[in-house]
Amino acid sequence: MKVGDEYVLNGHKCFITSGGLAGMYTVFATMDRSLGAKGITCFLVERERAGVSVGKDEDKMGLRLSNTADVIFDDVHIPVANRIGEEGEGFKIAMKSLDRSRGVNSYGCLGIAERAIEEAVAYAKQRVTFGRPIIKNQGLQWMLADMQIQCTAARALLYRCAEMIDKTGRYDTQLGSITKTFVSDMCMKVTTDAVQIFGGYGYSREYPIEKLMRDAKIFQIFEGTNQIQRMVIGSQLQR
C-alpha cells in the first residue's frame, strides 16, 4: 500500500535465485488485488533496507551450487524513486523481461546436453561387452545420433534468438517460448538417454551423468513451465 510518499511492502517470495546473495531485488507487488494483473507495480528494493530478510536456503535436487532462498518483506518502506515504471505497469514489465530472457537463457541447457553427449560417447567407446565397445552396437549408435540431432537443432534455435536480438533488438514472444521449451525438453531427453547408455553407472554418483540429469530438470520449470510456454505459443497462434 502507499502511505504518503512511500510504499509499504509486506509479504514473501520463495524460490528466488541468488536470493541469499543479492544486494538488490526487483520486486513485483500488488497494490490492489481486485485489479488482478493491472494492480501489480514494480520496485527496486535494497537488501539492507529495514524489514528485508532472507529465509531458508532450498535444498534442491539439481543446480545445487546456485543459491535459492525465500525473501521476506516486513513493513518495508520504499520511496517513490524506487518504483520502476508507473503504478499498475508491473505485469507488463515482467512479461517484457521474460520475453527477453526465455530464449537466450536456455544456453545452460545446451551446455548440459553437450557435456552429456561427450560423456556418453567417451563411455561408449571404452565400455566393452562381448568383446567390443558398446558404441559398435547399432541401437546405441542411433541413440547417440538422436541426441546429437536434437542438440544441434536446439543450438540453431538459440543462435537464432541471439542473432535477432543482436541485429534488430527485437524479442519475439513466440520464438522465445518455442526455444525455451524445445531446448529444455531436449536437455532432459538427452541427459536421460545418457544415463541409459551408462547403465548402472549412470545411476551412480561415481560418474557425472546423474548430476547432469538432475541439473537439466529445472529448466523445464523455471521462467514459466513448459506447459505455460505451450499456452503462450497457442495464444500467439490465435492472434
> Can you tell me the distance from the alpha carbon of 170 to that of 176, in angstroms, rounded to the nearest whole number?
11
Cell of 74: 516486513
Q: How many CB atoms lie within 10 A of CB 160?
A: 15
Helix (H) or strand (E) holding 211, with range, is helix 209-217
Task: State phi, psi for 201 to the nearest 5 degrees.
Answer: -65, -30
Contact 110, 154 (CB under 8 A): yes
Asked if pLDDT for residue 4 goes beyond 80, the answer is no
Measured CA distances, 45 to 12, 21, 204, 209 (Å):
13, 14, 43, 39
Give the three-class secondary structure for 206: coil
pTM of the complete model: 0.89
Contact 74, 147 (CB under 8 A): no
Task: State phi, psi for 55 to the nearest 5 degrees.
Answer: -90, -145
Nearest Cα neighbor of 118 from 151, 156, 142 is 151
Instruction: Express each pLDDT in 42-82 by its tens digit.
Output: 999 999 999 999 999 999 999 999 999 999 999 999 999 99
Contact 105, 55 (CB under 8 A): no
Return the bridge partners of 176, or none. Answer: none
Please give the DSSP secondary-structure letter assigned to residue 169. Answer: -
What's the confidence (pLDDT) of residue 236?
A: 92
Catalytic residue among 58, 119, 210, 223: 223
Active site residue 6: no
Instruction: Express each pLDDT in 173-230 by its tens digit.
Output: 899 999 999 999 999 999 999 999 999 999 999 999 999 999 999 999 988 899 999 9
Cell of 99: 520475453
> Can you tell me the distance from the alpha carbon of 176 to that of 188, in angstroms, rounded to the nearest whole number?
18
What's the confidence (pLDDT) of residue 121?
A: 98
> Can you tell me the distance from the alpha carbon of 203 to that of 239, in angstroms, rounded to the nearest whole number?
45
Instruction: Express each pLDDT in 84-132 by its tens digit.
Output: 999 999 999 998 888 878 877 888 999 999 999 999 999 999 999 999 9
What's the confidence (pLDDT) of residue 166?
A: 86
Nearest Cα neighbor of 45 from 68, 72, 67 is 72
Asked if pLDDT for residue 16 goes beyond 90, the answer is yes
Nearest Cα neighbor of 102 from 220, 202, 234, 239 is 220
Poorest-confidence range of 14-23, 32-41, 55-64, 101-110? 101-110
Domains, the chain: 2-88 (2.40.110.10), 93-238 (1.20.140.10)
Nearest Cα neighbor of 108 from 196, 193, 180, 170 is 180
> Can you tell me the distance from the alpha carbon of 211 to that of 188, in angstroms, rounded to the nearest whole number?
12
Measured CA distances, 101 to 172, 198, 223 (Å):
11, 34, 8
